[in-house]
């Protein structure tokens, strides 16, 4: 189960990108549908193969959107013929059981029971962060046509920004659930464009990265310049007292007897340091590759601070580390070197 704070459940920018993508893609997808269906024989059943996003280097949400558009346009192209489309629900069921596939032949075997005669496969090649080359081919599925190319479209260049869907499965400190701090991780991760947070009910095959976060928290007492100076003074005082004691006490007339009676306490001048070390294990679901990122942060308080101040500093340490971790994950997934927000990168 993934966790999403309310303030991240709706991203206007992502929706705007999607609508721009849909508008740009629609014209080319319509032409691709006409190119690939026109040469096909009448009275056949057609299935549309989901995009292998590992090869296409495309996010799950964009892949799904593109296939939905192609399905609609193919349906429009064959509406005056006796041909039919395999219901998308049957394809989705297959995809739930087999999240990825290697080639057309393998997928043809998976849809053997759907009654399909032909399979339309969309091919994508990313040119850069924003542009993709798109084309389609139709393959025979049954009999002597099995595996044969029945038709092919032209190649079209489409503006499809790379946007990746990230699910947060867990955020824990040992066995304790720390999802209340997830907002700090997302503050860092969402500084980088091209990332969106998966809703809790999104099917797994539509997620690009699954993230699990672990927190290691410790405290330590650390010397300061002041405490080091107090220690030196205390050592000097000890030597002085030893000398004074050999000369007799103040009550017997020693004029040095009352010197050095009030010195700063070394312990009270030390700091309590709150150290947070965090790690993200994020799995690229298309290939099941396991990737890792880590970050750390420290805050401190006076050693004699109140419990309330100590708790505030400890929480600040965890939140800062998680923001740094989110930024590190954002960099690794998107490949961007700088944040898209006007705010400076938290790693700078």
Distance separating alpha carbons of residues 119 and 109, to the nearest angstrom: 11
- The reply to whether 6-159 and 164-222+270-334 are identical in fold is yes
Helix pair 307-334, 182-189: axis angle to 10 deg: 40
DSSP assignment string, 208-268: SEEEEEEEEEEEEEE--HHHHHHHHHHHHHHHHHHHHHHH--GGGT-TTTTTT-----TGG
Distance separating alpha carbons of residues 166 and 50, to the nearest angstrom: 20
Residue corresponding to tokens 């998107």: 334
Domain boundaries, the chain: 6-159, 164-222+270-334, 225-254
pLDDT lower than 50: segments of the chain: 9-24, 102, 250-251, 255-257, 259-260, 266, 341-348
* Residue 216, strand partner residues: 277
Indicate the DSSP class of residue 38. Answer: T
Q: Which of 276, 272, 274 is nearest to 181 (CA)?
A: 276
What residues contact residue 181 under an 8 Å CB cut-off, 6+ apart?
A: 171, 215, 315, 318, 319, 322
The reported pLDDT for the residue numbered 51 is: 80
CATH class of segment(s) 6-159? alpha beta
The reported pLDDT for the residue numbered 56 is: 63
The reported pLDDT for the residue numbered 90 is: 80
* 172-225 confidence digits (pLDDT tens): 999 999 999 999 999 999 999 889 898 888 878 778 899 999 999 999 988 756
Match domain 164-222+270-334 to its CATH number in 3.20.20.210, 3.40.50.10610, 3.40.710.10, 1.20.1630.10. 3.40.50.10610
What residues contact residue 192 under an 8 Å CB cut-off, 6+ apart?
A: 327, 330, 331, 333, 334, 336, 339, 340
The reported pLDDT for the residue numbered 231 is: 58
What residues contact residue 244 under an 8 Å CB cut-off, 6+ apart?
A: 254, 256, 257, 259
């Amino acid at each position: 189960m993934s966790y999403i704070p309310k303030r991240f459940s709706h991203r206007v920018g992502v929706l705007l990108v999607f609508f721009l993508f849909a508008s740009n893609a629609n014209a080319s997808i319509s032409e691709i549908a006409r190119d690939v269906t026109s040469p096909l024989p009448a009275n056949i059943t057609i299935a549309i193969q989901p995009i292998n996003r590992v090869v296409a280097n495309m996010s799950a949400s964009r892949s799904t959107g593109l296939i939905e558009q192609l399905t609609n346009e193919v349906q429009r192209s064959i509406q005056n013929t006796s041909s039919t489309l395999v219901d998308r629900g049957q394809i989705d069921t297959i995809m739930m059981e087999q999240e990825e596939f290697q080639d057309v032949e393998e997928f043809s075997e998976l849809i053997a029971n759907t009654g399909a005669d032909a399979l339309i496969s969309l091919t994508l090649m990313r040119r850069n962060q924003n542009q993709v080359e798109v084309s389609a081919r139709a393959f025979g599925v049954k009999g002597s046509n099995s595996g044969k190319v029945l038709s092919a479209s032209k190649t079209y260049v489409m503006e499809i920004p790379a946007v990746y869907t990230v699910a947060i499965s867990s955020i824990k400190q040992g066995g304790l659930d720390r999802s209340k701090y997830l907002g700090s991780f997302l503050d860092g991760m969402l500084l980088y464009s091209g990332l969106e947070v998966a809703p809790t009910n999104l099917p797994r095959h539509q997620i690009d990265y699954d993230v699990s976060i672990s927190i290691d928290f410790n405290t330590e007492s650390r010397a300061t310049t002041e405490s080091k100076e107090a220690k030196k003074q205390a050592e000097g005082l000890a030597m002085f007292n030893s000398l004074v004691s050999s000369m007799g006490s103040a009550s017997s007339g020693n004029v040095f007897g009352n010197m050095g009676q009030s010195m700063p306490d070394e312990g009270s001048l030390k700091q309590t340091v709150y150290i947070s070390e965090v790690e993200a294990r994020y799995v690229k679901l298309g290939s099941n590759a396991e990737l890792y990122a880590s970050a750390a942060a420290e805050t401190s308080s006076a050693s004699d601070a109140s419990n309330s101040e100590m708790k505030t500093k400890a929480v600040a340490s965890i939140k800062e580390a998680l923001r740094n971790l989110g930024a590190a994950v954002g960099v690794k997934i998107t490949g961007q070197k700088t944040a898209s927000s006007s705010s400076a990168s938290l790693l700078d």
